[in-house]
Amino acid sequence: MRAIESEGGRALAVEGDVADEDSLLRGFAAVDRFGHLAVLVNNAGITGGIARLENLAAAMLEELYRVNVVGAFLAAREAVLRMSTRHGGEGGSIVNVSSGASVRGTPNTWIHYAAAKGAIDTMTIGLAKEVAAEGIRVNAVRPDIIDTEIHDARPAGQLGQIVKAIPMGRVGTADGIAQIIVWRASKEASYVTRALLDARGGL
């Protein structure tokens, strides 16, 4: 926030829970005070923990899908209501953060998480077509093995084995993914919509 404000911008941090509709609506209401909503990045997500299918609990699955899927749909809904020229908006960009897991399936680890990200891929394609004529672009970025704490729960040695399979021979960085998201949301990508961009090091 300080970096934004030091360059003359305005910044506001709003604590919320995308899985709770009332909380999400309060967040959008706070953003409304800034004027026109131009960009939504759907980045909230949880993995649900490492497990094979036979060990999955219904309560965990419900939480996973509330955060990763329902939350993304509700946030996109509120963005469309503000961005769409059909509703008096000025257009905008929605960038969904999916995952390479939706392609790989991640057996023995996160098939539940992968399936949720598959839902985000499908939503991206459908919503992009639905609102393309209303001034809204909808795209997704699909990172894979990124240097974040999400991989701390993996069994010892598993991450190293996966990295060996990455053609570029290394994991990605959160900053690198952020730069892709910024480009996707920018005017330089004004003719790009319905695109699922893999950022997976060739995996």
Q: Which CATH class is domain 38-199?
A: alpha beta
What are 55-92's pLDDT values in tens digits?
999 999 999 999 999 999 999 999 999 999 999 999 99
- Tokens 């991640």, located at residue: 106
Q: How much is the pTM?
A: 0.93
The residue-averaged pLDDT of 135-144 equals: 97
Phi and psi at residue 88, to the nearest 5°: 85, 10
What are 31-58's pLDDT values in tens digits?
998 889 999 999 999 999 999 999 999 9
Q: What is the distance of C-alpha 32 from the center of its chain?
A: 21
Percentage of the chain modeled with pLDDT above 70: 99
- Which residue type occupies 35? G
pLDDT at 197: 97
* Catalytic (active-site) positions: 113
Please report, for the chain, the start and end positions of each structural domain, with discontinuous segments joined by +: 38-199
What are 10-26's pLDDT values in tens digits?
888 999 999 999 999 99
- 57 HSE (CA, 13 A, CB side): 6
What are 101-135's pLDDT values in tens digits?
999 999 999 999 999 999 999 999 999 999 999 99
Planar angle of CA 170, 110, 58, nearest 5 degrees: 160
Query: Is residue 151 very low, low, confident or very high in pLDDT (cuts 50, 70, 90)?
Result: confident
pLDDT at 203: 82
